[in-house]
Structure 1
């Protein structure tokens, strides 16, 4: 059993973050007889999972949904996030391609380059 400060220090986050996660329903923590939060192994593992999901880009509502008791609901959220991340990766690859061309472009101004104009017209 650990107190909120110990768990926060172990995870490298502030205690108020753990309280917020609990407030929005992403984390459930038992209370002792005096009303203090008590983190058992299950609650600590749940907090680690929330932290990992946040670090890979899920919002708190997505985290809460991804930790749904039904596997289908959790998978739907994760699949949607994978799709969004893949779209972001593709967008960034196109940006890198454009910028690499801009660096190597033989034209003085990018708007004089037909290749740059093609990049500009792409969505």
Structure 2
């Protein structure tokens, strides 16, 4: 990793950035193509990534891991985007839905782990845990000894 004398500013090549984030260089080029990144260029036209670029890449990576599309990430990174709040509120609602589904899945897995039924599909209590998918209602998962 290279840094200039100016307050620890990074000055990384595309290969160094890719290695730092364990990604392929073509991903960084693609993110540049869609406008998420704007690295400086040296005299030979090679990309040079500074500290702000590295933080921006980290935001993109974390946002992608949270399920955001590149279009949503572009809005997140653009404080002037007219629909920024709408996009971010929609993403929050989506995260809340995903977290709820994960909690249900975790509870189902815990029940399956402790259930006395050898074939979980025959457990009447386990069937209740998926009944919301069948009839649209929300049913809490029974305790592990109910099956």
Task: State how 1:64-75 maps to structure 2 within 5 Å.
Answer: 64-70=74-80, 73-75=83-85
Gaps spanning 5+ residues in structure 2: where?
1-10, 134-147
Match of 1:33 in 2: 43
Which of the numbers 60, 72, 76 marks the counterpart of 2:70?
60
Give the TM-score of the pair, scaled to structure 1: 0.74
Q: Which has the higher helix share?
A: 1
1:12 corresponds, among 11, 22, 42, to 22
1:32-68 per-residue CA deviation (whole Å, 9 max, x = no partner) reads 3332112233322222222222233322222112111
Q: How many residues align?
A: 123
Return the alpha-carbon distance in structure 2 between the equivalents of residues 43 and 103 of structure 1: 45
Aligned mates of 1:102, 1:48 — CA distance in 2: 37
- 1:91 and 2:101 aligned: yes
SS of 1:122's equivalent? helix
CA distance 1:110–1:31, change in 2 (3 Å): closer
Question: Is the CA contact (8 Å cut-off) linking 1:27 and 1:50 kept in structure 2?
Answer: no
RCO comparison, higher one (Cα < 8 Å, 6+) = 1
Range with greater deviation from structure 2 (32-41 or 20-29): 32-41
Would you say the 8 A contact 1:66–1:73 is kept in 2?
A: no
Coordinate RMSD, CA, aligned: 2.7
Contact 1:27 1:43 (C-alpha < 8 Å) held by counterparts: yes
What's the offset of the Cα at 1:18? 0.9
SS at match of 2:36: coil
